[in-house]
Chains A and B, each alone.
Chain A
Amino acid sequence: MWGLEHIWWVPILPMIGAIANGLFGFLWPRCVTNLFAIGSTGLSFLIAVIAFFNLLSLPEGSRLYESVLYTWIQSGAFTAEAGIQVDPLSGTWLLIVTGIGFLIHVYSTGYMSHEEAYPRFFTYLNLFMFSMLLLVLGNNFLVMFIGWEGVGLCSYLLIGYYYETKSAPDAGKKAFVMNRIGDFAFLLAIMWIFKDTGSIDYTTVFGMAHDTWAVGGMAITMITLLLFIGATGKSAQLPLYTWLPDAMEGPTPVSALIHAATMVTAGVYMVARSATLFNMAPTTMMTVAAIGALTAIFAATMGMYQYDIKRVLAYSTVSQLGYMFLALGVGAYVAAAFHVMTHAFFKACLFLGSGSVIHGMSGEQDMRQMGGLKKLMPLTHGTFLIATIAIAGIPPLAGFFSKDEILLSAFLGPETAHKVFWGMATVAALITAFYMFRLYFMTFPGELRAEDHHVRDHVHESPPSMTGPLVVLAGLALVGGLLGLPQGLLGEHAHVLHNFLSEVPGMTLGHGEHAAHPSVALEVGLMTLSVAAGVIGILIAWYFYGAHPEKAEALSKKGGVISFVHYVLNRKYFVDEIYEVVFVMPLLWLWKTVLWKIVDVKIIDGFVNAVAAFFAGLGAGARTMQTGSTRNYALVMVTGGLLLAVIWVFSIGG
């Protein structure tokens, strides 16, 4: 059990890397920075793998390893330990985070090579690894919360990495504040859990859940809803999703690691971790599913007409996270975790691929300037195509299996609403295939459209440090789906991930998993439909952006309804503008004009000044206030005050 016993090193190593590079990074050469940054995450990944196999070697049903370092906070009845637990659920995330994290660290050495503030970047990135691992590994809600806020901080710092612009710090601040709205709810949920159970330990809380709360009762519904609001902030769900597209201001490896593969799945992890609680709150489950389905289709439509290559991927991420929440909401926790995994593979590959494109295009992100990169960047093109097919849901690539499992689980839900969610998710699948292939056709085939000669002449394939991770991720996107083959068609044992995760408390109690056994015909029928949706989406994209690009151009400029829709989608339904007008402006007005200028300055200070003027008149009648006379004035004040006091005392006493 060497790996499990040394599990603390998994988060601590990146922390050491962060401290080393943070304090001395500016002193030593880049190779030493690399050594600390990549060495620490690499070692951390190795230990995680060993620990994972240790976990597998434990007998099924007892795969839980806990380790407490010390008591973090102990006050009265409240105790929070600095403790870690490894079980199949955290183990799965552990591998995703350290594995993808390591690949992206390697990639970053290439991508960030032209940056001046190289050590700063890796300091933040390592700090992120530490926080994310703490989030995943914690054995209680408060340790998860440290990681939760920690990743939020790193996200803020990394989005704002190019701090000299206006947009990057703006985006960072927006991300942090929106996350904090979620954190506010998360904190309340933790406090409520503590109030009712006297504990914040996962094991204790989940063990007591059924004795403490009535299924469907007010308390458990509120607690889970608050937890879910927390998750919507971190995982960019409606209505708190608007920070994620803006987060693309950060360097592309950051978008891949934090804003696609790991941090944004923290909400999914949190809900899955609290599955025991969510299973007791049907109202919350319905809400989760509804928000998930809505986000999936809403974000997908916003991705349809973006021109910034990273923004398309950002909306795609929001949409895919919607799928995961739909899965959670129908109790298909395993399907959610499965999709987190496959999504991490193909979306990290897509982001890193787009980074490779941006790198090759000297920083250009507008797809209207791209095209023809197929010949110029063959490796990037190949891996990108694989990931695009995977996200479009074409079998047998990874995205197909996880997405299909979610669609099936939604369809099998007991309520009519579930069928509606299934319908929305299927349409979203079509749109996904469309915008992803639109992106592909605009970027890779055809001729290079860049006008700038400097850009045109410098297009080049990226160095091996960047293409290497792309190849690995594309490979995973190709075969990752094999971990979760459909049980209905191939038998119980086909779904490796399912069997592995099923021992985690609450994981398989949802109605999506075992309650209904679909007939083979239904399962095949649904599968055909979802594949058809993907294929139709691809064909539309091919028609307008592959075969006849001039038609798309003409259509968007034609005027009337189509142009209007195009405009609204391109401008993201004006949600940011609406938030600005509805929340930001009125609040700032209230705070500045009413509270400060009127309440503080006019009312309270007006009163104080009047009192002061009264005493000043009594005391010296001095209108000119210079240092000397102020002392006298003060003296008069003291004497007068004391005199009044004495008079009052004697009048009471008498």
Chain B
Amino acid sequence: MNSIPLLSLVTFIPLVGMFVIFLIDRENRGLIRGVAFGTALVDFLVSLPLIFKFEPTHEMQFVEKIDWIPQFGVSYHMGVDGISMLLVVLTTLTCVICMASTWEAIEKHVKEFMILSLLLETGMIGVFCALDFFLFYVLWEVMLIPMYFIIGVWGGAARIYAAVKFFIYTMFGSVLMLVAIIWMYYHQHEVTGVWTTDILAYHGLAISPSAQMILFLAFFLAFAIKVPVFPFHTWLPDAHVQAPTAGSVILAGILLKMGTYGFLRFSLPMFPDATLASVEWIMVLSVVGILYGAWVATVQSDIKKLVAYSSVSHLGFVMMGMFALTVPAVEGAIMQMLGHGVSTGALFLAVGVLYERRHTREISEYGGITKVMPIFATVFMIVTLSSIGLPGTNGFVGEFLILAGSFGEYPIFTVIATSGVIWGAIYMLWMFQRVMFQKITKKENENLKDMNLREMAYFAPFIALIFIMGVFPTPFLKMMEPTVVNLIKQVKGEAAVAEYLPAQREVPQAVADGTVVVNDIHNSRL
């Protein structure tokens, strides 16, 4: 227990900033922007001790627990483990960058935009920290509403359609999840005689396999829509295309991780039987997502749509890694979550840089931009390569670990998924060529200004992370390892994990086949 409630601070500092902005005159845009940026920056700095003080165990850390509505067993319970801690820091960093990037991009209703952005930040951080179902669900919804307005008010021409589609999809999932949570709440009481909404109390709760399956499906829909898993992805291209740059960055960088995080925090540890029973068809959906996302991305004429579909492909890898349930695969999935947040966030920022200058997202409107914007060309190239997963960048580590960790158990799926390295290169490089190379054909592009200092500054952290995570991934992996090992234990049983740890390397033949033993032990545990 920490004396300083670090997680509460990180979660609610944005709210403080939000109230300050309430008090500022709406015409004083500079001050509003300054306060919003300052709040995000302070929040990021406050979140940094999470990394340095983190102990590499699987236990929840920086825990805060206060009774909230005791008669229903609801408490204010916050805490992070090796997975959520990294996501919290990614969120605070991304928000700083977003605030910096909207400096000139948002001209309309600046005050409202900043208020909603900060509310969104609180919601996102809270979702990653919440260890109580009630708290979690409230924050989950808190997060959706600002995003809905950000798309619907500050978006492009077809923003209303996109916002409504986003809302329908996610509400549909949320509602199913709520039903499942309520069912489990009653079930918990039936089994243990206690009313509680403490999430950790549900890890390992005995639920019959058939009930698990129904609950798993309800959660699956909620999270699969968020990820998004094929075929629940069609809200994403519309939302991305219409959203303003900052909205897209947050959407791609953080909101898409809510789904995958949800699987790790809820579906896997709470419904291990259903998880193991569902692996095969989830693999199918993941692999379809990887290929489908990449293929459809190739033929887009709108840069943002292209990047949106590429997210479908990248998140397909994450899904595959999580459900392959080996240490390298799950760690790779988490690395890919972080890596995708960085590289796709940066990609949307890059598109934003172009959009602010030309107010179009059509690839055919560009061409030859390298000539007039050489610095931007370099930055964009680095981000593109990271998205392609070039070794030495963050993209490679996650993708490789997912594939290497899945290959032993699901060779066919892995082979198909690995072909993603080809498709990724095709759509990204083709897009890059059409936007950045060849001769300038449009007069409007002849005098574009290269990136200014502010723009370089907000790209810098992402560029640095691309290389740091690519060249020194082991510290990240070490932070998440105990949590991941524990998670796999929760799903597959004790014995399964030993097979994947380095101690066993003396008998390397045993590495590949763990499944049979795993299921037996798991069944006997029930």
Contacts and interface: CB of A to CB of B under 8 A. Distances in A.
A563 interface: no
Interface stretch (A295-303, A351-359, A605-613): A605-613
B234 A604 contact: yes
B391 A145 contact: yes
Given A75-B332, A146-B392, A197-B508, A191 B438 contact: no
Given A78-B404, A633-B164, A634-B167, A196 B437 contact: no
Interface in A616-654: 625-627, 630, 633-634, 637-638, 641-642, 644-645, 648-649, 652-653
A65 interface: no
Interface stretch (B8-16, B169-177, B255-263, B278-286): B169-177
A181 B423 CA distance: 9
A591 B309 CA distance: 12
B183 A652 contact: yes
A76 B405 contact: yes
Nearest to B185: A649
Contacts of B405: 75-76, 78
B296 A208 contact: no
Interface stretch (A160-168, A242-250, A258-266): A160-168
Contacts of A596: 296, 299-300
Given A173-B433, A608-B234, A645-B175, A77 B504 contact: yes
Interface string B375-414: 0001000000100001110001100110111011000001
Given A73-B473, A634-B167, A150 B391 contact: yes
B298 interface: yes
Point out which of A156, A163, A611 has the most chain B C-beta atoms below 10 A from its C-beta. A163
Nearest to A630: B160
B512 interface: yes
A266 to B, nearest CB: 14
A4 to B, nearest CB: 24
B219 interface: no
Nearest to B440: A164
Contacts of B430: 173
Given A73-B397, A73-B474, A191-B407, A588 B299 contact: yes
B30 interface: no
Nearest to A165: B438
A184 B131 CA distance: 41
Contact of B164 (A166, A591, A612): A612
A61 to B, nearest CB: 27
B231 interface: yes
A177 interface: yes
A196 B513 CA distance: 10
Given A588-B298, A591-B298, A625-B160, A75 B328 contact: yes
A9 interface: no
Interface string B148-179: 10001100000010011101110110110011
Interface in B471-526: 471-474, 477-478, 481, 499-502, 504-505, 508-509, 511-512
Given A77-B504, A595-B295, A195 B179 contact: no
A169 to B, nearest CB: 4
A327 to B, nearest CB: 29
| Size class of the A contact interface (CB-based, 8 Å) | 35 or more
Contacts of B163: 630
B477 A187 contact: no
B390 A153 contact: yes
Contacts, number: 199
Contacts of B172: 641
B390 A149 contact: yes
Contacts of A652: 183
Contacts of B504: 77
B437 A183 contact: no
Interface string B321-354: 0000011100110000000000000000000000
B419 interface: yes
B81 to A, nearest CB: 17
Contacts of B499: 77
B140 to A, nearest CB: 13
A72 interface: yes
A605 B232 CA distance: 10
Dominant secondary structure of chain A at its interface with chain B? helix
Interface in A173-213: 173, 176-177, 180-181, 183-184, 187-188, 190-192, 194-199, 208, 212
B35 interface: no
B296 A637 contact: no
Interface in A258-315: none
Given A76-B501, A641-B175, A181 B422 contact: yes
Given A163-B437, A637-B167, A79 B175 contact: no
A627 B153 contact: yes
A22 B375 CA distance: 11
A164 B418 contact: no
B429 interface: yes
Contacts of A591: 295-296, 298-299
B328 A184 contact: no
Given A146-B391, A195-B408, A591-B299, A76 B331 contact: yes
Interface string A2-40: 000000000000000000001000000000000000000
A76 B326 CA distance: 8
Nearest to A185: B418
A191 B414 contact: yes
B299 A638 contact: no
Contacts of A188: 407, 414-415, 418
Given A192-B407, A645-B178, A184 B508 contact: no
Contacts of B385: 153
A71 B474 CA distance: 7
Contacts of B183: 649, 652
B502 A170 contact: no
B182 interface: yes
B437 A169 contact: yes
Nearest to B326: A76
Given A600-B296, A648-B179, A177 B404 contact: no
Contact of B419 (A74, A177, A184, A634): A184
A183 B419 CA distance: 9
B13 to A, nearest CB: 28
A611 B168 contact: yes
B292 interface: yes
A177 B422 contact: yes
A135 B332 CA distance: 24
A641 B179 CA distance: 11
B22 interface: no
Interface in A585-615: 587-588, 590-592, 595-596, 599-600, 604-605, 608, 611-612, 615
Interface string A122-151: 000000000000000000001001100110
B265 interface: no
Contacts of A626: 160
Given A77-B511, A588-B299, A627-B153, A72 B505 contact: no
A612 B165 contact: yes
Contacts of B397: 73
B511 A198 contact: yes
Nearest to B420: A184
B82 interface: no
9 contacts: A74-B477, A76-B331, A77-B508, A150-B391, A177-B425, A180-B425, A197-B508, A592-B299, A653-B186
Interface of A: 22, 70-79, 142, 145-146, 149-150, 153, 156, 160, 163-166, 168-170, 173, 176-177, 180-181, 183-184, 187-188, 190-192, 194-199, 208, 212, 587-588, 590-592, 595-596, 599-600, 604-605, 608, 611-612, 615, 625-627, 630, 633-634, 637-638, 641-642, 644-645, 648-649, 652-653
Given A73-B473, A163-B438, A641-B172, 5 more contacts: A77-B505, A163-B370, A165-B439, A199-B505, A608-B234
Report, nearest first, the 6 A-B pairs whose CB atoms are least far apart.
A76-B327, A198-B508, A592-B299, A146-B391, A169-B437, A191-B407
